[in-house]
């Protein structure tokens, strides 16, 4: 067995992936035809072109247009089955999936019906396969404090038991973390876990504020951590998990090339890093591809690959008993590879 085969056998946990971002051009076209059967319809090639954007703002605009293509609760049933079926093929055993219901509710989709459809699809896949999905509601920081608080309130009102936490995404330069500590305190007071996007399009201060002011357990993207810095010390001191999304950062122009991603430096420094696909449908990636790329670039060992998976288990919000089961499965996979 070579290491690429080993990657496919490794039990994986994905911590930074957006449900809406799992929409592929093919799924998007099907969705458009479903709701506009007799209207003008873009070609698949035109939709594929929408997934090529010049910068992060272009990505946000494409993401917005995808979200606006959803019109009914059962659209979310279709998407959840579509997403989880692909996750199963990647040997993902557990995923904490980000989702922003606010846009859909504002456009008239009933929140409880939508959540019921997501839960119905997830239960079907969970009954068919060895996978479990939880949700983290992502606050749209670009729309201000009120919108973020509304999303966090929706998380508290979930009746399915799927929602375990909240986070914040969007443009961290124009709407920095320091604007939202009250919203995060509000969420934690209700028992929700907290995470945040930081260091995707902004730098060290954004990451420091997200950790210190928002008091999150994980940060996503986290580009540009200086070695031996105050930020590095705080990451170690607070055991902050770093959810890396290398191909996403190339696709949105946050870094000029995959070789410029700080992954090898973070690995060498011993940071608690994980690998994730972020928006797999939009970026034409998946978690196995993320592992494959880093394997090819940096000649990783089985122990290093398994260590990244173990970091994801440790950084998840799973109960300790389930963490132990997954950790043992990862160790067994390594032992089988070496025997």
List the catalytic residue out of 20, 117, 200, 290: 200
Q: Is 200 a catalytic residue?
A: yes
DSSP helix/strand/coil, 137: strand
Estimate to the nearest angstrom the gap between the alpha carbon of 329 and the chain centroid: 23
pLDDT, residue 56, reads 87
Q: Which residues of the chain have pLDDT under 70?
A: none
pTM above 0.85, yes or no: yes
Structure tokens given for 11: 């039990």
Reported as a single tens digit per residue, the pLDDT across 100-143 is 999 999 999 999 999 999 999 999 999 999 999 999 999 999 99
Strand partners, 221: 198
Nearest to 94 by CA among 313, 292, 329: 313
Spatial distance between the Cα atoms of 335 and 332, rounded to a whole number of angstroms: 5
Place of tokens 């067994």: 332
Reported as a single tens digit per residue, the pLDDT across 5-38 is 999 999 999 999 999 999 999 999 999 999 998 8
Q: How far is CA 260 from CA 232, 246, 265, 293, 324, in A?
A: 19, 9, 10, 13, 34
Nearest to 269 by CA among 239, 227, 240: 227
Q: How many CB atoms lie within 10 A of CB 45?
A: 8
pLDDT, residue 308, reads 98
pLDDT, residue 112, reads 98
| 243 touches 219 (CB < 8 A) | yes
> Max Cα separation, the chain?
60
């Amino acid at each position: 067995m070579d290491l690429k085969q080993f990657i496919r056998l490794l039990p994986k946990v994905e911590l930074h992936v957006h449900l809406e971002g799992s929409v592929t051009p093919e799924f998007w076209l099907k969705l458009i035809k479903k709701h506009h059967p007799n209207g003008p319809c873009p070609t698949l090639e035109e939709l594929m072109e929408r997934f090529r954007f010049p910068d992060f703002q272009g990505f946000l605009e494409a993401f917005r247009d995808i979200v606006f293509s959803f019109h009914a609760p059962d659209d979310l049933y279709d998407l959840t089955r579509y997403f989880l079926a692909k996750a199963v093929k990647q040997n993902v055993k557990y995923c904490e999936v980000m989702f922003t219901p606010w846009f859909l509710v504002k456009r008239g989709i009933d929140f409880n019906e939508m959540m019921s459809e997501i839960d119905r699809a997830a239960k079907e896949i969970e009954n068919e396969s060895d996978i479990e999905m939880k949700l983290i509601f992502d606050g749209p920081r670009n729309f201000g404090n009120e919108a973020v608080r509304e999303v966090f309130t929706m998380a508290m009102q979930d009746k399915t038991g799927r929602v375990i936490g909240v986070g914040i995404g969007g443009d961290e330069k124009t709407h920095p973390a320091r604007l939202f500590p009250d919203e995060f305190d509000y969420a934690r007071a209700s028992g929700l876990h907290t995470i945040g996007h930081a260091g995707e399009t902004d730098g060290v201060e954004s990451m420091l504020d997200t950790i210190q002011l928002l008091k999150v357990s994980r940060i996503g993207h986290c580009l540009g951590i200086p070695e031996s810095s105050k930020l590095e010390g705080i990451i170690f001191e607070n055991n902050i998990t770093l959810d890396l999304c290398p191909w996403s950062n190339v696709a949105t122009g946050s870094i000029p090339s995959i070789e410029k991603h700080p992954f090898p430096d973070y690995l060498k420094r011993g940071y608690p890093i994980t690998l994730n696909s972020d928006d797999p449908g939009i970026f034409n990636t998946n978690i196995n591809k993320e592992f494959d790329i880093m394997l090819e670039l940096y000649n990783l060992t089985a122990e290093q690959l398994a260590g990244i998976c173990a970091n994801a288990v440790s950084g998840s919000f799973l109960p300790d008993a389930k963490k132990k089961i997954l950790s043992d499965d990862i160790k067994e996979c390594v032992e089988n590879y070496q025997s």
